[in-house]
Chain A
Amino acid sequence: MSSRDRLKIAFFITAKKVVAARVNVFLFLGFVILLGYIWQRDSFSVSFKAFLYFFPYLFLFLSQDMVKDEVDSGCLENVLFLDGNFRSYLAAKGYFLALTAISCSSIILLFFAVFGLATNQFAAVYLLQFLAGIVAGIYYLSLGGLLSFSLKGGSNVLVVILGQVFLFVGLLLSARQESGFLDALDGGAFPDLLSKVKFLVLALIFPQVVVAERFIVYGLGIGMLGVFFMIFQRARIRSLELERK
């Protein structure tokens, strides 16, 4: 079997999975409806900002059940995946999921862009912010993929979201003590090492922070970390064996 055929089979199986998972479809439709609601209740710009900050979650949600479920269930012990082909399937799956999330978010972006250009509300920087959002999304996908080597079902996604919930609750509860850091966050400049470290932790748990215009430059770091996770993930896939649990 040629590598092209292998890729086609991997894309075919993953596409069927994405469509079959109704929760994915509902989440996407729900997201679109929410954006429409915000636009109708408030404005184009608030709705677009909500889109930029929330679309990276599409990548995160698609990363559920990436590895462990399929390995443990035994469904990779199929004639389609002989001779180590299951490894190329698992690797190709990540690319397909990234492409799916990029395509879905690009479609929504297109609607915003068409309306924004027509009404003179669309700025070039929005495209940069969208790219930063994609970088954050790829970071989520690679992080979720890495976590799915040891976490089953959607628990890899849950862990990331719980981390964010704890982070926000922590920030809320300590708003008074952390007022310096919050001001720095608002201003986009971190005067001391401690606030830089705090921002790093924030960006690792909530990578969409790089969508903000003042933090776009940090997207490079998040992107590099995402690539590192991907490389690590590939290495783990290369050493993977099918031991049915």
Chain B
Amino acid sequence: MSDFAVRARNLSKKFGRVEAVRNAAFSLPKNKVTAFLGENGAGKTTTLKLILGFLRPDSGSVEMNSARVGYIPERPVFFSWLKGMDILAATARMNGIGRLDWPGLIARLSDKISFDPGLLGRKVQTCSLGNQKKFAYLQNLLLFPELLIVDEPFTSLDPPSIKSARELFLELKREGATVFLSSHLVSEVEKICDEFIIINRGNIIVQEDLNRIQNDYAFFRLSKPLQDKDKFRAQSAWFREEDNAVVMLIEKRRLCFLPDYLRENILGTPETPSLEKIFLFFIRKPFSAV
């Protein structure tokens, strides 16, 4: 059995002259929460839409290894003529759930995301943005997804609902589901994610295990100029430009193997990498030695 829920191979997508996604290759490990990080316009939503079949890739392929896939867009939009209950009816039909099971099930699922089931009699588009988002969560929960993909999971949600959403992702993971979260709220996803993927200008920069990076790696600032970039590339380290210095993210146990001239250039003390710092580090320009 495969150990990934989705695998993307060399996905590319152009809109006119704009290359939104370039040869993106990554895989989502099963039963984990993976964060998908990138700046505005980096290509996150396009990548999600390519995975979900809303867009067709110009090249590359997606291998889906999950039977029931859920998706919550950043700003869910619903058919303006449908009430919440109508949409749930269509979703339940899709998942083969009989109407008899409904009341208890909907009450239980609504509770998970702090959604008021009393709103189900209204047209969803007339609800507040926050309630529309919660409704989208409810609709997806009705599918019992093996893979849940959420674009900006916390947008439009109030703090208690953000907490509920975080708990929901962890619960889904405990139940064996895979969760893929594309978000700008790095501090929120850091609390729950196991892996992270960073995309910058359409390119997947890195995919790593967050725990591994946080436990085994550290940031060091080095004074410029540096040389022999290729030599320390081979030593599990990344380098990025920063004002008048170079920042290095390196596996701590490899520090002793660094060449003397590099160790002599280290400024200050090492910093533990938070997800936010990791993100800001990776979207910077890679350092090129002079």
> When the two chains form their complex, are residues A74 and B55 in contact, meaning their CB atoms are under 8 A apart?
no
Stretch at the interface among B75-83, B178-186, B203-211, B240-248: B75-83
> When the two chains form their complex, are residues A243 and B81 in contact, meaning their CB atoms are under 8 A apart?
no
Interface Cβ pair total, 8 Å cutoff: 75
> When the two chains form their complex, are residues A80 and B73 in contact, meaning their CB atoms are under 8 A apart?
no
A85 and B94 alpha carbons, distance in the complex (Å)? 12
Interface assignment of B56: CB less than 8 Å from any CB of chain A: yes
A75 and B77 alpha carbons, distance in the complex (Å)? 5
A13 and B172 alpha carbons, distance in the complex (Å)? 29
A77–chain B nearest beta-carbon distance, Å? 5
> When the two chains form their complex, are residues B140 and A77 in contact, meaning their CB atoms are under 8 A apart?
no
Interface assignment of A182: CB less than 8 Å from any CB of chain B: no
Interface assignment of B143: CB less than 8 Å from any CB of chain A: yes
Q: How many residues from A make CB contacts under 8 Å with B?
A: 28
Q: How many residues from B make CB contacts under 8 Å with A?
A: 31
CB < 8 Å: which of A12, A74, A84 contacts B77? A74
A53 and B49 alpha carbons, distance in the complex (Å)? 46
Interface of B is mostly: mixed
B173–chain A nearest beta-carbon distance, Å? 19
B68–chain A nearest beta-carbon distance, Å? 10
Interface assignment of A45: CB less than 8 Å from any CB of chain B: no
29 A-B interface contacts by CB (under 8 A): A12-B89, A12-B93, A13-B79, A13-B90, A16-B79, A16-B82, A17-B79, A73-B77, A74-B75, A77-B49, A77-B71, A77-B76, A78-B71, A79-B71, A79-B72, A79-B140, A79-B143, A80-B90, A80-B91, A81-B54, A82-B54, A82-B71, A83-B69, A84-B53, A85-B53, A86-B54, A241-B54, A241-B55, A242-B54
A interface list, Cβ under 8 A from B: 1, 5, 8-9, 12-13, 16-17, 20-21, 70, 73-86, 241-243
